[in-house]
Structure 1
Amino acid sequence: MTYRTYVALGDSQTEGVGDGDDRTGLRGLADRLAERLAQADPGLLYANLAVRGKLARQIRAEQLDAALALRPDLATVVAGVNDLLRPNFDADEVAGHLDAMFAALTANGAVVATLTFPDLARITPLARPLGGRVTALNQRIRASAARHGVVLAETAHHAAVTDPRLWSTDRLHANSLGHQRIADALAHALGLPGADESWAAPLTPPLPADTRMATVRSEIRWAATFLGPWLGRRLTGRSSGDGRTAKRPHLLPVHGRTATAAPTDRFQP
């Protein structure tokens, strides 16, 4: 089927962090999916309500009503990674917010699509303690998607999605190639014309294995450059989304590339 209206809900990945910057504009998985949808129907109208740093409960509270008011034919909901990183993570609570969004959007007549999350430890070894959390959340996303007839892109099952070449240097956000792969995964799950499983193909050539010492040095640099500032914001109650609003809050036509610069602040990982 073709879609005339598409609304994206979520956090930094859906906003497009890692794919462009705040000066020249962010693109991201939702913009890339909208561009593909517009190839099938040039009259497509697209809104992106996502704001970086948001938890699942905040996305539900701040974006769901606005999305329902736009009455989309298609909606994507990608949320939960920011919750995974919090000390008080509760998989049932996060899944409850996702379930409520799935229920409301499908009841409003939208086709809803979402995805599962990769093992973060394969992106950065320091995230190994979060592996159980990712598994628990993915299990609940699958159950909720099945309950509400939500289209699910199973990115968690494919090793290619944790290839470092698909991720920004902060290891928290996909880079341009990674955002394209995620958009292609959603397109394939939705059965869009021309979409196939190539999004899951391993990158070539394979990366050479790092020595143990090289891995340790890389982890130390990453922790000092990205993990430290992130922890600093958590300890002071700040978020990278503070003072930000959605980059594309209204349904607008898609003309070529849809990257839109956010109006405030500079890029914060």
Structure 2
Amino acid sequence: MLTAETSDPFCLGDGEAERLLRGHPWHRFAVLGDSVAEGLTEPVDGYHPLAFPDRLRVELARHRPGLAHRNLGRRNLRAAEVLATQLGPALAFRPDLALVVCGANDAMRPGYEARADAVDATLTALVRPLQDAGATVVTVSLFVMPRYPRMPDWLGPAFSRRMALLGRRTTALAEALGTVHVDLATHPAIATGDVLTGADGLHGNGRSHAIAAAELIRRLSREIQGA
């Protein structure tokens, strides 16, 4: 039992994930994206050690022991690089569930505002073919901290503003595309500040991944129930 996690009001309790995903229809799970998709995280005592994409895989496999899985995520990739290198292999894998997490490496750089439409178009070009091939596509707007004091100066003081813009645009795009979407950008856990980030001051730690996994599993449960 993960004591800190099961007592965390934003996480799932013992056995809750298994109950929420019971009867899920998915057999082939693909993950596309950047470092978040790849599973970059930092352990926190009392919380599950896996990043949320891998945590979701584990929980799905409880009900589908033969679940096929492929994680194509690679750190440092912008959305266009994810499209160029991962969509083809993902389609060849024939997933019926696909998690797409990217755009942060575009938004973190100055000038994102002028490129935002192009990033949206790239995300659309990732999502639509997966949907057309029959996959349920899951998208995520990542946690946005009010400030990132440990980030290098070249990122600029408007880093939080750009990340918040990405979150809003990803949520709007998800609605337009009809993805199964989880909006973490304004999650109440953000008020706990650095409790969510690892040593690099940017990527989420074990607690943030546990919260993200909880929100994904809750959202997929509603999808299973037809809500």
Q: Do they superpose with TM above 0.5?
A: yes
CA contact (8 A) 2:40 2:51 kept: yes
Q: CA separation of 1:39/1:122 partners in 2, compared to 1, >3 Å: closer, same or farther?
A: farther
TM-score by length of 2: 0.75
3-state SS of 1:134 partner: helix
Deviation at 1:128, TM superposition (A): 4.8
- For structure 2, the residue ranges without an aligned partner over 5 or more in a row are 1-23, 44-48
Q: CA separation of 1:66/1:153 partners in 2, compared to 1, >3 Å: closer, same or farther?
A: same
CA contact (8 A) 1:33 1:184 kept: no
2:181 to 152, 156, 162: 152
Deviation at 1:180, TM superposition (A): 1.9
1:174 aligns with 2:200: no
**Which residue does the alignment assign to 1:13?**
36
Report runs of 4+ in structure 1 exceeding 6 Å deviation: none
**Which residue does the alignment assign to 1:191?**
221
CA contact (8 A) 2:108 2:162 kept: no
Q: Which amino acid aligns with 2:181?
A: L
**Deviations 1:54-88 (CA, angstroms, capped at 9, x unpaired):** 00110011001110111101000010111112223
CA RMSD of superposed structures (Å): 2.3
Greater relative contact order (Cα 8 A, min sep 6): structure 1 or 2? 1
Deviation at 1:142, TM superposition (A): 2.1
Bigger radius of gyration among the two = 1
1:133 aligns with 2:162: yes
Stretch of structure 1 that moved more, 48-57 or 136-145: 136-145
**Which residue does the alignment assign to 1:103?**
128
- For structure 1, the residue ranges without an aligned partner over 5 or more in a row are 21-25, 194-269
1:70 aligns with 2:68: no
1:43 to 63, 66, 70: 66
1:3 aligns with 2:26: yes
TM-score by length of 1: 0.64
Q: Give aligned-pair identity as a percent.
A: 35
Q: CA separation of 1:192/1:44 partners in 2, compared to 1, >3 Å: closer, same or farther?
A: farther
